[in-house]
Amino acid sequence: MWWAIPVAAIIGYTIGSIPVGLIVGRVTRGIDVRDYGSGVTGATNVIRTSGLKAGIVTIIGDVAKGIAPVYLGLALGNLAGIDVHDDRAWVAAVAAFAAVVGHIWPVFAGFRGGKAVASGFGAALAMNPLASVALIPVAALVVGATRIMSLMSITMAPALALLFAVLAIIDVSPPAYAFYATGAAALILYKHRPNIDRLIAGTEPRIGRGGDKHASTSKDGAPSRT
């Protein structure tokens, strides 16, 4: 019955690899958003390069990429005959973590994706809607006070992992979800290392700034050979 684990990983990674931000940038502006701003496919960079509406579409798509693997993982566990919910949760957690990996290193986009904040949150939302939604006002407060999206991501990912760990300890949420949240937070922090360096230096761009084209790209968006 545990064949469901590798199958879930494959399904999750495939879903996570769908480059929503890249597709939105191509459709709305005919550009590769990775040639601009932070160089990733996340919603924040899409907003900088393609506008708010494009960014909202990207957020919705990326959150859905996190939600879908969780439910598919649970269904797969049920199909495999795993009767205990906490055991099925491991299948869902593997699918969700694989989706986060896929978002960061997407096979459909040359392994250059985003930082998995929205996809990671989407998975958490599917796992425990109340706990995840409870952190939204805190995230909004951080963004409203600082106007720095990366600071919200850096603080909320570990906060969500801690919350899921507490819920697992008090037997409200499956341990598998706590392991997922911890692993996802570690990857998100890893991908935000340049942001952390800029935050320390006081040079991290605020919302609406930092969307300039990279000096290493040509006018048509292709990487420069110089």
Give the pLDDT of residue 1: 66
DSSP string, 162-177: HHHHHHHHTTSS-HHH
Residue 78 token pair: 């049920």
Residue 125 token pair: 């939302």
pLDDT digits (tens, 9 = 90+) for 136-156: 999 999 999 998 989 999 999
Give the pLDDT of residue 215: 47
Strand pairing partners for 36? 213
DSSP annotation of 117: H
Our CA angle for 15, 107, 49, nearest 5°, is 85
DSSP string, 84-113: SHHHHHHHHHHHHHHHHHHHHS-GGGTT--
In the block, residue with structure tokens 């960014």: 55
pLDDT digits (tens, 9 = 90+) for 173-215: 999 999 999 999 999 999 999 999 999 999 988 876 555 565 4
Give the pLDDT of residue 209: 59
Give the pLDDT of residue 115: 95
Q: Is 204 helix (H, G, I), strand (E, B) or coil?
A: coil
For the chain, helix (H) and strand (E) counts, in that order, are 11, 0
**Which regions in the chain score pLDDT beneath 50?**
215-226
Whole-model pTM over 0.75: yes
Phi, psi of 172 (to 5 degrees): -95, -30
